[in-house]
Chains A and B, each alone.
Chain A
Amino acid sequence: MARKTPEINSSSQADIAFLLLCFFLMTTSMDVDYGITRRLPPPVEQNDEDVKVKERNVMNVMVNKSDRLLVNGRPSDIAQLKDLAKEFMTPRPGDETAPEVETKTFDLVGEVLMSKGVISLQNDRGTSYAMYISVQNELARAFNEMKEELAWKKFHKHLDQLNEDQTKAINDAVPVRVSEAEPVEYKTN
């Protein structure tokens, strides 16, 4: 007659499981990283010809080493930068001082009047990173507000409620035209 194997007492299983649970609870870090995603331009080739952009199509944003802003040669404040950028990028046909406009057709959104403006961002080597992020953020905010407005006009929906195709159409119709100047070092006399 085969002997019966005694049953293994499983009352401590819960305790073991709790120990493991505590371990994973302690070591887990569920911090999700957030940030501003950007795409760097490819390196400039030596023989590349400078792309000529008309002066009226460029908004110059400069930040010096003491974190002061200069927008188109005028001292400015970070709190106004978003509105300035938005005003600049909003197409105004017939206005000689504003950037040129063009009409383009996109899927889903149809004909859109687009500004040919470019925002050129230049910072000094001494600019603080916090200021740089603030400027990037304010410029991104200007474009995001314009996207939001277009999304509402075309689809009667908020930007985050659009489906993939609609989001792509809006992103095509409102391109983020921020160009970072090649770094140069300004000598202070």
Chain B
Amino acid sequence: MGKFRKEGKKEVPQVSTSSLPDIVYMLIFFFMITTSMRDVELKVKTAMPKATEIQKLEHKALVSSIYIGPPRDTKLGTESRIQLDDAFARTNDIADWIQKERDSRSEADRPLLTTALKVHKDTRMGVVTDVKQELRKVGAFRINYTTLKGSALEN
């Protein structure tokens, strides 16, 4: 058993921390690449309904979002309003906005542009239908009803 006897006092070597910055830098780069800073300040509530048959919204750069819901500022009432970018908008602003969104993308990406509708669940369909009709008029046919994951029967 002598083989396993401790041979005197051996000091445990210090863990080298010289590679710590490298590890941290690696993490930084990871977060820098995956980060996407919130681009709009939400002026409307968007508690979205749940659904099960959903697909992931790929290529965030090709998605423009329309927010519809009751204003966060309760002074403005509870009627659902449309928000484009950072401001409230009306239905007839959508055509111009879509044009602006298209112009900001490269020629090749334009047909792939998807409009994500982020709509509060208590919104009446009238507003949504108007928005959809407007999108049809300007040829923005690809839409996505953004939802949460969950059973649709609980909505």
Contact = CB atoms under 8 A, between A and B. Distances in A.
Nearest to A180: B132
A175 B129 CA distance: 24
A33 B55 CA distance: 9
Nearest to B146: A35
B144 A37 contact: yes
B132 A25 contact: no
Contacts of A126: 124-126
B50 to A, nearest CB: 8
Given A34-B56, A34-B57, A133-B147, A43 B136 contact: yes
B28 A24 contact: yes
Contacts of A40: 132, 135-136, 140-143
Contact of A133 (B35, B63, B145, B149): B145
Dominant secondary structure at the B interface: mixed
Nearest to B147: A35
Interface in A26-42: 27-30, 32-42
Interface string B29-60: 00110111110000000000111111111001
A107 B135 CA distance: 35
Interface residues of B, number: 56
B55 A35 contact: yes
A28 B28 CA distance: 11
Contacts of A132: 125, 128
A134 B153 contact: yes
Interface of B: 17, 20-21, 24-25, 27-28, 31-32, 34-38, 49-57, 60, 63, 114, 116, 119-126, 128-129, 132-133, 135-137, 139-149, 152-153, 155
Given A33-B60, A33-B146, 8 more contacts: A21-B31, A32-B56, A32-B57, A36-B55, A65-B124, A127-B125, A128-B122, A133-B155
